[in-house]
Structure 1
Amino acid sequence: MQSDVDVFIIQKQTTLERYTRSKINIDFFDYLERDNQTPVPLQEAHNEHTKSRDILLKALEKYSLTYKIFNLDELSSNNICYYNDKCKNSGLNPKLKLVISLGGDGTLLHASHHVGGDVALLGINSCPAHSVGHMCPVVPNDIEKAIGCIVKKEYSTKSVRRIKLEVSRKQILPLALNDVLLCNRHPAATSRYQLGIFSSNFTKEFGSEKQLSSGLWVSTAAGSTAAISSYGFQKLDLLSSQILAAVREPYTPRNESLQLKQFSIDGDEKSLLFFSRMRQGLVCVDGPDSCAYLGFGDTVKMSLPKECAINLVLDFFGKVPLFPIDNG
């Protein structure tokens, strides 16, 4: 999306906004009461987020930077497409080549789907007391300092690898910054598929296996602290080219030993091929909101090309405290 503004901001909708101020068929306050909750923490989180937004907008205005701001729903309603490395004008393309995510890690993951390799992504944790922000190094008190460093070009980025997914039905999926889940559409149904390890260009096969399970997790280095960490994988360096894979609840009716139950591969050399043996399969990217359906014989190629990496703003040359990201 070409634009004449300096910066795009992608912000989260707070729980209070999403469930109490929109038209949904639920009495959310009644739910809170029955769950022995009060709306006070939600109001506090909402207030903290809006305060952070005000600080950010004032900082941008202080430095005479123009901007457009969207929440996640507005990205869809404005037909803002995913970034595609094969489509020159895809994704968000502001003049300063900067997109700001205002929320937590979930917001940053959604924002990353619309950001290409020549645009930097800065994560601001708008309410650290209520939100997880492993990839959001800036907290509210340091927003103005961070924007000042952006203007003065006193910052650096790290090129973090993303998984590229190519689905045989030509369904459009974003690049995965965190992880991918491949499974049956119904959680009570068995996921049936064949998993193969191939060369990076898919011309040579190194091994494959038919599997029955609850699904398959595939993760990047950035996602090594997320769901796949429950399988015993160690946290990877953010710049690692490793792809992690783990089978969820494998089922072996004849007590076979799965060869590809849990493993890692070098994404510079190898890729994965998922062959669906399901009538109703599903592939989800970075959570439940970016999905594609799979049928019998559909395939999903998963690779880690360098040109699909994203540039995360993670350092301000010591001028802004970084929290909680470890840049070591």
Structure 2
Amino acid sequence: MASRKLLLLLKPLDDYAVAAQSHGLSRITNPQVVHHLESRSKVHREAIRYCQNVLRQKFVDWEPILRDNVSQPIRNVDMVVTVGGDGTLLHASHFVDDSIPLLGVNSDPTQVAEVEEFGDQYDATRSTGYLCAATVDNFEQILDDILEGQVQPSELSRIAICVNSAPLSTYALNDVLLAHSCPAAVSRFSFRIKRKGHPCSPVVNCRSSGLRVSTAAGSTAAMLSAGGYQMPILSRDLQYMIREPISPGVASNLMHGFLNPGQSMEVAWFCKEGAIYIDGCNVLYTVKDEDTLEISSKAPVLKVYLPPRLLEKGILPIRRTSDAEKLRLSHM
């Protein structure tokens, strides 16, 4: 069997206690909080060491690299293994095409007993690892299954964005937020839904806190918190929501909806400044007055080895706009 080449992408250790100390949190007097931060750093460090020891025993070539040191497309590897949480996997997704699968290792899972004991004193949660298929408890078994070809990656939709017809180089795995650069300022824009380049909805003029568009993978994140719907993980649809619309009027039924793979959203921006945030706050592009955006699922899929719980039938039921409303939109 030919040797496989892997990239081990690591969340930096100083994202935990070391970073906390350098940003002034050394003034924290609650010893339980200090212990929690130190514990998280230790658990993550031990997870990195464990994954490296496992890889040393396998018939693979591998190279470790810190997440923050990746700034160019990842090439010439058979798989990327991320050690951290969803943030590390999201970071990796911005640098791979549809030919390199990702395996996420949640290095610091939330401990239910810890949350129950200390949740009323401080935020005792750790890493959710929603898209991470492995922890230190099952990493070696899952890796063996992958290397032996017993499991295949799933294909997740991503979001493509064009600004003034020029495609952005980064695809969103979770969501895109278009908003004014100042969070307290009003975002002014209009949008309409298009199918195969032709309008299939009226133009909707908006004054709001911005526009969010999510994939199925991102529908359990900010979209769900804002009142959106949880989507089946392998859905090819996108979900959009106007954030805090001001006087939506007759267009209120278009403030939240879905785009199928054949549809796109055309947005015209009418503020002097604005920003497109991709998968959180670390990747952003600026926009200016009269810029035009196209948002769609025309991005290459992302191949990810997912936790079995996400693929079980019925685990992520979708509640959505009525079939009649969707049919009306598709024929306008």
TM-score, length basis structure 2: 0.82
C-alpha distance 241-224 of structure 1, shift in aligned 2 (>3 A) = same
Indicate the percent of aligned positions where both proteins have the same amino acid: 27
C-alpha distance 196-257 of structure 1, shift in aligned 2 (>3 A) = closer
C-alpha distance 103-225 of structure 1, shift in aligned 2 (>3 A) = same
Q: Which runs of 4+ in 1 moved over 6 A?
A: none
Q: Distance in 1 between matches of 2:62 and 2:169?
A: 27
Residue 50 of structure 2 aligns to which amino acid in structure 1?
A: I
Q: Distance in 1 between matches of 2:31 and 2:239?
A: 39
Displacement of 1:37 after TM fit? 5.9
Alignment of 1:92-171 (within 5 A): 92-95=74-77, 97-129=78-110, 130-168=126-164, 170=166
2:287 aligns with 294
C-alpha distance 166-37 of structure 1, shift in aligned 2 (>3 A) = farther
Displacement of 1:296 after TM fit? 0.6
Q: Distance in 1 between matches of 2:160 and 2:208?
A: 23
Alignment of 1:138-287 (within 5 A): 138-168=134-164, 170=166, 172-199=168-195, 201-252=196-247, 257-266=251-260, 268-287=261-280
1:318 aligns with none
Secondary structure, aligned partner of 1:118? coil
Displacement of 1:210 after TM fit? 1.1
Displacement of 1:260 after TM fit? 2.1
What is the aligned length? 294
Q: Distance in 2 between matches of 1:138 and 1:223?
A: 19
Q: Distance in 2 between matches of 1:169 and 1:265?
A: 19
Q: Distance in 2 between matches of 1:282 and 1:259?
A: 26
Q: Distance in 2 between matches of 1:234 and 1:259?
A: 15
C-alpha distance 124-212 of structure 1, shift in aligned 2 (>3 A) = same
Residue 54 of structure 1 aligns to which amino acid in structure 2?
A: R
Q: Distance in 2 between matches of 1:143 and 1:244?
A: 33
Q: Distance in 2 between matches of 1:187 and 1:28?
A: 26
The answer on whether the counterparts of 2:9 and 2:83 sit within 8 Å (CA) in structure 1 is: yes
The answer on whether the counterparts of 2:160 and 2:167 sit within 8 Å (CA) in structure 1 is: no
Q: Distance in 2 between matches of 1:72 and 1:102?
A: 9
Q: Distance in 2 between matches of 1:11 and 1:185?
A: 31
Displacement of 1:206 after TM fit? 3.1
2:54 aligns with 59
- Verify: 1:50 aligned to 2:50, yes or no: no
Residue 9 of structure 1 aligns to which amino acid in structure 2?
A: L
- Verify: 1:6 aligned to 2:5, yes or no: yes
Q: Which has the higher helix share?
A: 2
- Verify: 1:73 aligned to 2:55, yes or no: no
- Verify: 1:29 aligned to 2:3, yes or no: no
Unaligned residue ranges in structure 1 (runs of 5+): 81-90, 315-321
Q: Distance in 2 between matches of 1:159 and 1:152?
A: 20
Secondary structure, aligned partner of 1:177? coil
Report the RMSD for the aligned CA atoms in angstroms: 2.3
TM-score, length basis structure 1: 0.83
Q: Distance in 1 between matches of 2:271 and 2:169?
A: 19
Which protein, 1 or 2, shows the higher relative CO under an 8 Å CA cutoff with sep ≥ 6? Answer: 1
Displacement of 1:158 after TM fit? 0.9
Secondary structure, aligned partner of 2:70? helix
Displacement of 1:178 after TM fit? 0.6
Q: Distance in 1 between matches of 2:202 and 2:251?
A: 15
Q: Distance in 1 between matches of 2:265 and 2:48?
A: 40
Displacement of 1:198 after TM fit? 0.9
Q: Distance in 2 between matches of 1:239 and 1:194?
A: 29
C-alpha distance 260-28 of structure 1, shift in aligned 2 (>3 A) = same
